[in-house]
Amino acid sequence: MSYPKELWENTRLEQKAYPFQLFQNRAYNVTPNECFLYLHWHEHFEIIIMREGSALFHIDSRPFVVKPGEVLLIPGGGLHVGYALGYDNIYYDCIVFNASLFNDWVHDPLHAQFVAPYLEGRLRYPVKPAEQDESCLQHYSLLEEAITELIAKPPAYQLIVKSKLYALFTLLSRTFIERQLVGMPAEPYFVNRDRFKLLIQRIESDFREKMSIEQAAKQVSLNPYHFCKLFKKLTGRTFVEYVNVNRMNEAERLLRESNDTITEIAAKVGCENPNYFTKLYKQYKGITPSQARKLQ
């Protein structure tokens, strides 16, 4: 399902390598039927944890009443809006993250079986998981632990948050996937998934290679338009973003583990222009290569 471009929200996440962010939202002295969350959609997943007050959310035109302690899971691309139900203060935490956060598992067959169907949009978790299965309540502690990390931001908090969200998605899949797959066709969603995997392996192993979108599309036997659409659905990133993230991850490793100069590292990850490399590294890692090396 697609929605009007004018309702699209360009939700910017702080770090492209770890695309998630916490928003702590408050609306004071609201009145019944007052809109405190305007109608919009974005490509990211969104998890809402209601803290105070009660509200009516419409998600893809379906109504959901939410009270303190309850959790909503809004799929990527879902149109949503929120209205107050009483004279109250509204307080809710919101974790927004992109499916590309879990690209590390793209080659894992269990990931492909249990989590990828939700990331790719073939399946959807229930918007109110605990309403359909009370066992989901025990999984919500993972969200609280992730929020604690996102607020305090101790060293390597990104890894903790990523692991908590992935564990949540896996546990929800374990709960719902069998009943959701009943009656669904058995054929794979990406009929040329194996070709995409070979392409991704190529990207992840040869960082110097210059590959255009047209060349990449040819490798999987698609025209560039359909290639770009499927690549983003599979990985959560555009082709260019995916290439850049892998190059900057390799650069980060080389800065940490080698004695190569920054210019040499730039060349090794396919950036012949050191100034462009520095700009790209800061865009994806939040600091310059020189700053990163000083932290080692």
Structure-token pair, residue 5: 């471009």
Nearest Cα to Cα of residue 104 among 163, 169, 177: 163
What is the residue extent of each domain of the chain? 8-181, 193-294
Statement: residue 59 has pLDDT above 80: yes
Report pTM: 0.69
Statement: residue 9 has pLDDT above 60: yes
Segment 47-55 shows an average pLDDT of: 96
Statement: residue 65 has pLDDT above 50: yes
Per-residue confidence (pLDDT) for residue 187, from 0 to 100 = 47
Q: Are 295 and 27 in contact (CB under 8 A)?
A: no
- The helix/strand/coil state of 77 is coil
**What superfamily would CATH give domain 193-294?**
Homeodomain-like (1.10.10.60)
Determine whether domain 8-181 maps to CATH 2.60.120.10. yes
Task: Say which DSSP state 106 is in.
Answer: T
How buried is 235 (Cβ within 10 angstroms: 0-12 exposed, 13-18 middle, 19+ buried)?
buried
Assign residue 153 a region: left if phi > 0, alpha if psi is -120 to 50, beta otherwise? left
Statement: residue 4 has pLDDT above 70: no
Segment 87-93 shows an average pLDDT of: 94
Statement: residue 176 has pLDDT above 70: yes
